[in-house]
Structure 1
């Protein structure tokens, strides 16, 4: 059979025409899709800027359905779900991203971080801890460690909290020595409650060594020593604390007075209190001085002149109420009512106030029960701030 070249000559232009038509159709489809996705995306962005989150979510869902492979749209959608409190939907979005085999390493780490935030916001601390642990050796490592630290503090897991702060300290993410001392003190208090006083004392000594200028380890150690009948050791511990951190002496004054009287060392205790008071007048230190003078003499009202001296330089309602408590008035029959009114008016002034959130409490806290901030309570009461 003889081959006819005319068919080839006719077929080549036809094949070229068909290919050209196919390419035009593909280009039109691509242009259509490229126009459609940005339109939905910018529509969602516009809703988001106008704080119309419901409409923004609908627009982003439309954009994701148009192009399921667009990771940025998934991130935007997941963040919107988290902000609205729809944590289960945010988790599904970020888990879908992590399940994709074509996701790059940078986006995979970003999705892992977003998933950890979803669990954290939802209060699923176990799953958040697991997700955050996977962010070690990634650009999100520092943020993950801070989040893990918050989880361990909330759950009072002090050993793991200490381990995290050691890593952060080694990585030069800050000085966490004072916080490590707090963790050791918390462990010591738990051991004291269990009756293991020897190990508790070891923990407190470690805390004092980790943070020499932190007041809490020595105050807790002095409490333990006083509890064991070692009043002389308690006095020495508190005087050493006063030398290292004199601003914290008001917090330890009552314990120092008690230990000094039990150990027969009222003279050095009085000297330390008076030196501190003259340098920085304080209501708690004033109370300690009055208590020591009253205990050292049988004279009625001994030491109460300190209240008058205090009022000469400090207009203190608390000191005035304490002075008036045992004072004889011209109309003595009205004294109880007047005293009750003064005590009620001065009571809020004797509280401690958190410098971070303003939470007030009758007792001093090392960690604010309101905002969970460490060392946010000054050693002075509200009236003295």
Structure 2
């Protein structure tokens, strides 16, 4: 049987012609899309890559004027306005997006979130709160709740902060139990300042039950019990701190010494502090042990014991102040110089942002992080 190959003479040229036509159509479509894309948009991207925000904003404004229906250009322009601190114009851009009836719900939620961030960055907390409250049930609900939490913390509205943190905890957005305990402690401080010690104690009891691993509720409980005339209860609270939150003992060491002397439990407190010192040497614990020492020689021996474990300019200065040198005038000058050099080493430092302070904070004044201050001085870090 002979095969007729004449169809190839027609088929191959036809296939080539169809392929050529298809390629020309694709090229033409690409050219049309290129013409439709505003050139100003690419100029804006180029300025952004070169970190020229002002020029990028001008280019995006031109692109938006040429194609006012492009939502992405509006988002880019609004974000640029916010980054440069031009919050009024950022608000206008995002409010314009929300006023449009032709955008889908996803872009509408995105514009609502962007508008809330504009208000938040501008410091308009009440308007930011109202904008964030409209994001319930959206894809931005988690971010909105975190922003609301930040607003309530900044305004020290602890009951609302507690409600939002509990909502985030229930939604498994992270562990907010320690923060909830801090909120209760903050409420307790307010009740204590107003003279309502009963409510203050009840709030601290709730904080202890919620987060017994935190040192703050135990310290606050001991302080409140001591204030209300219950030194034995205060001392017991500090003993529980040693058991439940030993990392906070350096913060409690000085109070423990005072309570132990009042209750005539110096030897018991010294044994407890010494055990903690053997596990992890601490400047504050060493100072507390020196105060519990029966005489000056024993106190200086405590300092030398610390120096055997860890070198410390602070402890060396304390030890030298108790020694008698041949030249008293020179000794006073040397000690003064050492104290001046060691004072910065006694500060506390935030582990999140590095903010240093003379006192210990539960929430960093710089970055607003909770529990970011270790209970140790800068020299010990």
> TM-score, with normalisation over the residues of structure 1?
0.87
8 Å Cα contact 1:250-1:380 kept in structure 2 = yes
In the other structure, the counterpart of 2:27 is none
8 Å Cα contact 1:231-1:260 kept in structure 2 = no
Distance of aligned partners of 1:89 and 1:333 in 2 relative to their CA distance in 1, 3 Å threshold = closer
* 1:1-385 pair list within 5 angstroms: 35-294=35-294, 299-385=295-381
Distance of aligned partners of 1:343 and 1:50 in 2 relative to their CA distance in 1, 3 Å threshold = closer
2:136 counterpart SS class: coil
Q: Which sits farther off after the overlay, 332-341 or 94-103?
A: 332-341
2:293 counterpart SS class: helix
Q: Which sits farther off after the overlay, 196-205 or 34-43?
A: 34-43
Structure 2's unaligned 5+ residue stretches are 1-30
TM-superposition CA deviations, 1:329-356 (whole Å, max 9, x none):
1222322212211211211111111111
1:88: how far off?
Answer: 0.5
1:304 counterpart SS class: helix
Partners of 2:289 and 2:374 lie apart in 1 by 21
Q: Which sits farther off after the overlay, 234-243 or 98-107?
A: 98-107
Partners of 1:305 and 1:345 lie apart in 2 by 23
Distance of aligned partners of 1:43 and 1:339 in 2 relative to their CA distance in 1, 3 Å threshold = closer
1:309 counterpart SS class: helix
Partners of 2:305 and 2:65 lie apart in 1 by 78
Distance of aligned partners of 1:78 and 1:300 in 2 relative to their CA distance in 1, 3 Å threshold = closer
Superposed CA RMSD: 1.7
1:357 counterpart SS class: coil
In the other structure, the counterpart of 1:10 is none
> TM-score, with normalisation over the residues of structure 2?
0.88
Partners of 2:270 and 2:296 lie apart in 1 by 19
1:318: how far off?
Answer: 1.2
Partners of 2:247 and 2:304 lie apart in 1 by 23
1:81: how far off?
Answer: 1.3
Equivalences, count: 351
